[in-house]
Amino acid sequence: MTKATEYVDHMYALYEGRAAVTVGVNNESKTIHPFVYENKNHIPIGLIAMCASDIITPTEVDIYHISAFIPGKGQGSEIMNFLCDAADEYGVDLSIESNAQFNGNIIMSDTALTSWYRKYGFKGTCLMRREPGKAHLHSLAERLN
């Protein structure tokens, strides 16, 4: 089992609000694990969908979706801190596409979303990647100031 698979399995097992979805064609199918994220008080505050990359990149986790049920109240930041802290613990890279999605509420521009991801140590522009460790600790100190 790869580090990425261990990370995804751990996250997926934490919550009951989940359903695995397989997407892809032919031999390139991937199982995406969407689940409802609950805060420490067991209150659902958002959605996450992720997938462990293949054997070629055994420490990479692709995040397909992250959203807060109530945007602008810090729930997205709580979710992102949770994902990054666990990625640091498991030693996995996180990848995400910085593409704002309209949800009928507050919408971030692609530029604002890219800047937000950078606060958590992600690098790149459209397709962003975050390595575990120091990047998050540095960005955590920036967020606290």
Nearest to 60 by CA among 1, 16, 7, 138: 7
Q: What pLDDT shows up at residue 79?
A: 95
Q: What's the predicted TM-score (pTM) here? A: 0.78
Nearest to 24 by CA among 77, 62, 60, 58: 62
- The two three-digit tokens of residue 20, written as one number: 């695995």
Q: What pLDDT shows up at residue 74?
A: 92
- The two three-digit tokens of residue 108, written as one number: 């971030």
Cβ atoms of 136 and 142 within 8 Å: the answer is no
Nearest to 67 by CA among 43, 94, 46, 44: 46
Alpha-carbon distance of 95 to 131, in angstroms, equals 9
DSSP tag of 69: S
**CA angle 128–66–117, rounded 5-degree value:** 35
Average pLDDT per consecutive 10 residues, the chain (145 residues; last block may be shorter): 84 69 55 86 89 81 89 91 93 90 70 93 92 62 45
Q: Are strands 44-52 and 60-68 parallel, antiparallel or unpaired?
A: antiparallel
**CA angle 30–57–85, rounded 5-degree value:** 90
For each of the domains in the chain, give its residue range(s) and CATH number, in order of start. 3-144 (3.40.630.30)
Burial class (CB in 10 A: 0-12, 13-18, 19+), 12: middle
